[in-house]
Amino acid sequence: MRARLLLALGLAVAASSAAAEQAPAAAWMWDLPKYVPPPRVPADNPMSEEKFQLGRRLFFDKRVSGNGTLACSSCHLQERAFTDGRVVSVGSTGETTPRNAPSIVNAGWHATYTWANPALVTLERQMENPLFGERPTEMGVTDANKAEIVARFRADADYRKRFAAAFPEKADPISFETIIKAISAFQRGVISFDSRYDRYLQGKIKFTEQEQRGHDLYFGEKAECHHCHGSVNFDDQFVHAKTREAETPFHNTGLYDIDGKGAYPQPNRGLYDITADPDDMGKFRAPSLRNIAVTGPYMHDGTVATLADVIELYSQGGRKIDSGPNAGDGRASPLKSGLIVKIDMTPQEKADLLAFLKTLTDETLLASPRFSDPWKTAAAAK
């Protein structure tokens, strides 16, 4: 990974000197294996290293929140592949979110954002929700404190320099527009294609026999995991720079059926909460399975504790809840996706599948200084 970065920088330097030292900023280069096309980048927010590094600082900075107590990184921890290990997350004022924190890794390739929202098709748009949302409050940015938050960064000489370098075209480079753009650029740059699986794809390693059996099960017609998690990012809403038409499937996987008609409990009814189409009840976006072994607990509401439990759930073709307010047999839900059927995997098959899923963990991502908390690094250097 590091070697590739150095190479990329070297190339960038070569490219820029060839371009007659025109722009001081090194041209952004996507460091991707050849089976991954570059993501779509909004025309009004091009990538640059300066912007990525500014966004990285902001991502890890609690001053972005209204009361200065919460950073993006509070719910998106690098060592957990930018998830938080909680069932659901906690906002800056103590309110809990209704949903489990999704990973930001490889998010630049998502067609839609959050667990189920076809209206959010860019990271920039998605971010308005945790920043400005009121039900619940997450980052707690309001009309009343917005100017004060911006002033925190204007008062910081280092940030002034960094905003100016990241947004040289702007006379007044520090604003919520640029805060959002910089953090989005950082998120687009948080990429994970250096897992054991990637090394296997690149012919650098061979899988163990168990991993190989799990791989074959995953992509085979018994487990059929690949139907919804089949893209190079292990999801099915994968959009890249050259995508002309993006499909945005959402799925009901039989997690709940609280009324015998397929209902999911409020406030998490999935796509239905946006579209109000009864057919969309319980439909969620299939998340990327990259780094899935370190991103538990699982599902939109964090109600499945371990990856082994997830595999068991899909082996059963859904989830039956015996008691409590959400009791019901999701396995028999009339709204469940036709792709989710009882497949009764053997214990060996479940273990094999688990072994394969663990090959999707990218240790480079989890520890890379490039994606780490710059404030910790700065403190440690002192």
Partner 1 sequence: MRALQQIHRIAVAAGLLIAAVGAAQAASGKTQPVAISFAITADGKEVGCGAPLADLGSGRLAAKLHEARFYVYGFKLVDSKGGRTPVALTQSEWQYGDVALLDFKDARGGNAPCTESNPAKNTTIVGAVPAGSYVGLEFSIGAPVETIVDGKPVPINHSNVETAPPPLDVVGMAWNWQAGRRFVTIEVDPLSPVVKADGSKTRSWMVHIGSTGCKGNPATGEIVACARENRFAVSFDRFDPKTQRVELDFTRLFEKSDLLADKGGAVGCMSGPDDPECPAIFEALGLNLVESAPGAGDAGKQTKPGASSVFKVGAAAKPAKIAGGKQ
The contact set with partner 1 (CB under 8 A) reads 40, 42-44, 110-112, 117-122, 124-125, 128-129, 132-133, 135, 141-143, 146, 169-170, 175-177, 180, 237, 239, 243-246, 248, 266, 273-277
Residues ≥6 apart with Cβ < 8 Å to 62: 68, 69, 70, 71, 74
Closest contact distance (angstroms) between CB of 239 and partner 1 is 5
Looking at the Cβ atoms of 97 and 368, the one nearer to partner 1 is 97
Between 146 and 320, name the residue whose CB sits nearer to partner 1: 146
Query: CA separation (Å) from 173 to 54, 58, 73?
Result: 12, 14, 23
For partner 1, the closer of residues 132 and 375 by Cβ is 132
Q: How far is the CB of 25 from partner 1 (least distance, A)?
A: 17
Q: How far is the CB of 381 from partner 1 (least distance, A)?
A: 33
Question: Considering only CA atoms, which of 49, 53, 40, 52 is closest in space to residue 9?
Answer: 49
Number of residues in the chain: 382
CA distance 102 to 80: 11
DSSP 299-343: STT--B--HHHHHHHHHHTS-EE-SSTT-EEGGG-TTS-TT----
* SS3 label, residue 77: strand
Q: How far is the CB of 376 from partner 1 (least distance, A)?
A: 29
Q: How far apart are CA 200 and CA 216, in angstroms?
A: 13
Least Cβ distance, residue 170 to partner 1 (angstroms): 8
Complex with partner 1: residue 118 or 230, whichever CB lies closer: 118
State in angstroms the smallest separation of the CB of 245 from partner 1: 6
Closest Cα to residue 337, out of 379, 265, 286, 288?
Answer: 286
Name the token pair of 65: 């929140």
Least gap, CB of 90 to partner 1 (angstroms) = 18
What own/partner pairs with CB < 8 Å and gap ≥ 24 does 30-35 have?
A: 30/191, 31/4, 31/5, 31/191, 32/191, 32/193, 33/193, 33/198, 33/201, 33/202, 35/201, 35/232
State the nearest-atom distance from the C-beta of 135 to partner 1, in Å.
Answer: 8
Shortest distance in whole angstroms from residue 126 CB to partner 1:
9
Closest contact distance (angstroms) between CB of 43 and partner 1 is 5
Q: Please identify, using beta-carbon distances, which residue of 112 and 192 lies nearer to partner 1.
A: 112
Angle subtended at Cα 73 by Cα 105 and Cα 94, rounded to the nearest 5 degrees: 125
Residue closer to partner 1, measured from CB, 92 or 195: 92
Nearer to partner 1, 102 or 318 (CB): 102
> Which of 46, 260 has the CB closer to partner 1?
46
Q: CA separation (Å) from 18 to 15, 23, 286?
A: 5, 11, 44
Is the preceding peptide bond at 42 cis, omega within 30 degrees of 0?
Answer: no
At 17, which amino acid appears?
S
Which residue, 213 or 251, is less far from partner 1 as judged by CB?
Answer: 251
DSSP string, 107-144: GGGBSS-SSS-TT--SHHHHHHHHHH-BTTBSS---TT
Of 143 and 221, nearer to partner 1 (C-beta) is 143
